[in-house]
Amino acid sequence: MPNDLVVEVRETLGHAVLWLSGHLSIRTSPRIREAIAKCLLGTGCALIDVSRLRTTQSAFLSVFPAALAAAGGWPSARLILFGAGPNLRSMLVSSRVTETVPLAPGLASAMVMLEQRPPELRRQRDLPSHDTAPSAARLFVRESCKVWLVPMALQEVAELVSSELVSNAVEHARSSSQLTLTLTRSALRVSVRDFRPGPIPRTRPINIDACRGRGLQLVATLAQAWGVEPHSDGKTIWASLPLETD
């Protein structure tokens, strides 16, 4: 059947190897994510043979970077794909999966890539609809920036932006949220997704006498760029913070 999926796992000293055979779909994605999460929790490093994996939609390939981000991302969690055929390789590249989860030709080169930093680093944290969520967001940003060796000045801005966006999710959307940090060679992107449908927020002229409601204005001032992505069950607000270059 097209929905059949076979997952074979072999753990060795220091890493795990997964062999995926069959069809990647909305039905089988959770099983793959669960297998990756288990391996990363156990060894911190996973190599995935995708030579026998098939899919009809690039969107399903997001299971790989999502699983890596949820496990803590590089360097505490490392994930490499290998063996993709021409069609799957093209889909992985066009959907930008390979920017956070590298793709190697074979197992030997995949093991070498375990020691290399990917072009993009990503971490993700789920936060509750609670007053403590903004402080938890700041702590998550602080820990991530320390591991990634992000300059202190940028870390402080990212903490402030994440706190404001998570506060919006708690106070206005009255929703739990998902905070995602993405570090490239030129910027740190802070994204906060809530889970309540509603109007898309817009910045308004700043009222200097207002005690509240100035979060997005502050984000817009601090960020190089920012925006809102609507979803059927909520929205994502993101802000891009540039890395200083000499």
Cα-Cα-Cα-Cα dihedral sign, residues 157, 159, 163, 165: positive
The pLDDT tens digits for 114-154 are 999 998 999 999 999 999 999 999 999 999 999 999 999 99
- Reported as a pLDDT band with limits 50, 70 and 90, residue 244 is confident
CATH for 121-242, options being 3.40.190.290, 3.40.50.300, 3.30.565.10, 3.40.250.10: 3.30.565.10
Q: In whole angstroms, what is the distance from residue 210 CA to residue 201 CA?
A: 18
The pLDDT tens digits for 162-205 are 999 999 999 988 999 999 999 999 999 999 999 988 766 655 44
152 Cβ contact partners less than 8 Å away, ≥ 6 residues apart: none
| Topology of domain 5-113, CATH | Transcription Regulator spoIIAA (3.30.750)
The domains of the chain are located at 5-113, 121-242
